Amino acid sequence: MTVKCTPSEISGTIRAISSKSDAHRILICAALSKKATKIYCNVMSKDIAATCSCLKSMGADVSVNGDFITVTPKEFNKKTEIDCNESGSTLRFLMPVVSALEIDTTIKGSGRLPQRPISPLKEEMEKKGVTFHSGNVFPLHLTGKLQSGEYEIKGNISSQFITGLLFALPLLEGDSKINLIPPVESKSYLQITISVLRKFGIEIEEQENTYIIKGNQKYLSPEEISVEGDWSNASFFLCAGALSENGVTVTDLQVNSPQGDKKILEVLSSMGADVKISGNEITVKKNKLNGITVDASDIPDAVPVISVVASACSGDTKIINAQRLRIKESDRIKSVVEMLTSVGGNVTETDDGMIIHGGATLKGGVVNGYNDHRVVMSASILSSLCNEDVVITDSNAVEKSYPDFFSDFNKMGGNSDVLNDR
């Protein structure tokens, strides 16, 4: 799908959609419980749908009714095939879980998912009784029962590896330990995991770079639970507010959330934007913006839209420690550099990020969406800074995390039109 965005000011009030990160975790914990769980979730993105589909294939009963998902645990199948679609979270969370349950599992994936790393999680699982019959090649085929014990994982590749183990290891008979090899990045995502696990009765002992997990724990359903508002997707509209005279208010965001992307408020404030917090409502308005250095190690998903605000800053904005962006839905460092350059921006690519030289005249133009939802949404916000239209390819990628994005974008004063559905 190709979408044309005509320059316009984005302003107004919008409710945050439910967090994809929180939803994945709640769904998996619900399937591992003994009682049914009713989950409030106001969006059904492709990634959330992938986790629902996989849990159904494993044997759980998953039903959707409006803004509610009900997960009723059933006896798990001994053999199954699951399709993770393009969801890295679904893949890496469920690999250890199906192995802890000793399910003979074939795992399929699409898009860039088969190229995204599963090492060193794969090697650690192989040391603990799991066989990967096809190696790293999709479809993956896993057999064997995951064993308890001591696991060692590099902390700067993907926090999703550790989350998968945190779901699986409490199910095993013996006690386990996960040692993270520094540097440890995206630790906030592990805090989301531990927060959800505790809501389902699972206790994890945290030390500096070590997690101690008692075996033989039972998942206990809270019976009803709400998915938090999504700071990652809210960041697009909060950043739009920093470019808007009238500002943007996003509701249903928990300031005390473990989600790392709430750091977007700190970034925007440091850039000079006017940021106000009132309960669960955040308002951001335009002010004099200045370039800063952004350490992206804990907020990699926010980098594309931060780069948009950086384009409007005076001076340079340096984004560092973002190298993991190269293994996302696209190489997001290259994708973002190309996005800005294609509309007239001045940006320099670095090994671990980029330097955005603010103040360039942005003329508009054609942006390759790279089938990457965060690039597409960032390009849409970028259009508000341009003199002419921004045409974005692969715009249907927003369905991965925010299927109603363009509808909400237009409600907030954006001006987008679908040029073709191909």
Cα–Cα separations (whole angstroms), residue 249 to 16, 109, 137, 301, 324: 10, 37, 45, 21, 30
Active-site residue 301, yes or no? yes
What are the residues whose beta carbons fall under 8 Å from the beta carbon of 351, sequence distance 6 or more? 323
Q: Is the peptide bond before 183 cis (omega within 30 degrees of 0)?
A: yes
For the chain, percent helix, then strand, then coil, each to nearest 5? Answer: 35, 25, 40
Separation of alpha carbons 136 and 78, rounded Å: 22
Nearest to 93 by CA among 31, 41, 137: 31
Return the H-helix or E-strand segment holding 125.
helix 121-127
Catalytic residue among 47, 261, 301, 372: 301
Cα–Cα separations (whole angstroms), residue 340 to 77, 152, 237: 48, 39, 18
CA 195, 200, 201, 205 dihedral sign is: negative
β 224-226/37-40 pair status: parallel
Token pair 């970034």 in the structure block, residue: 267
Return the DSSP state at 182: S
Token pair 């996003």 in the structure block, residue: 250
Cα–Cα separations (whole angstroms), residue 377 to 30, 241, 243, 412: 31, 14, 15, 14
Pair of tokens at residue 249: 């208010």
Token pair 């505790």 in the structure block, residue: 198
Return the H-helix or E-strand segment holding 405.
helix 405-411
* CA-based radius of gyration for the chain: 21
Return the H-helix or E-strand segment holding 189.
helix 187-199
400: left (phi over 0), alpha (psi -120 to 50) or beta: alpha
Listing DSSP states for 12-48 in one string gives EEEEPPBPHHHHHHHHHHHHTBSS-EEEE-S---HHH
Residues annotated as catalytic are 301
